[in-house]
Structure 1
Amino acid sequence: MKEEHHEKGGRWYVEEDGKTIAEMTYINSGATRFIIDHTEVDESLRGQGVGYKMVGKAVERAREHKLKILPLCPFAKSVFDKKTEYADVLF
């Protein structure tokens, strides 16, 4: 899994043959939080936990940088609802 981070936000993603086949994007929202706004996983990766892994990477980043996450993406929100161990980074 690759990641890109820049001033306005970033993404975690999986590429195959130069094509993005899974992606979760976020937007920075102030100095202390970011918003997960979109997650998409190609059918070829469904059922492999790739979406959960991307959310896990976001949680790692939030913990490392002492940030909070607002999961506006329905998929990310559902993961946070299921994974109570991520509650420490929820906004």
Structure 2
Amino acid sequence: ECAPATISTVQLSSPSSCSGSISFANQYTSGDMFYPEAQAGAFNFNVTLGVYRGVKMIKWSGMFYGQSGTFDGKEIAASSCDNFWMVTGASDMYIYPVAF
């Protein structure tokens, strides 16, 4: 079983905004395999909260805040809309990846 991630950086575009950014870079220490990529921004994402057909959704950008970059020796294409998560339940935060 995976331990929950600690997110140290969650920034909203403005206090009333439905968009912001999330960084998982702090999950990687200097001895980790992907530490250089984390420091280069590979685990930084833009997110947008919204509703699609009555269902709460979270839209995630690609890595590097949706910009292109190198990860594990491969060039990652820019993507402003990499995947969606569907949030279910009034107080639960169960998250399911959604493919279109």
Normalised by the length of structure 1, the TM-score is 0.34
**Larger Rg, first or second structure (1 or 2):** 2
TM-score (norm 2): 0.32
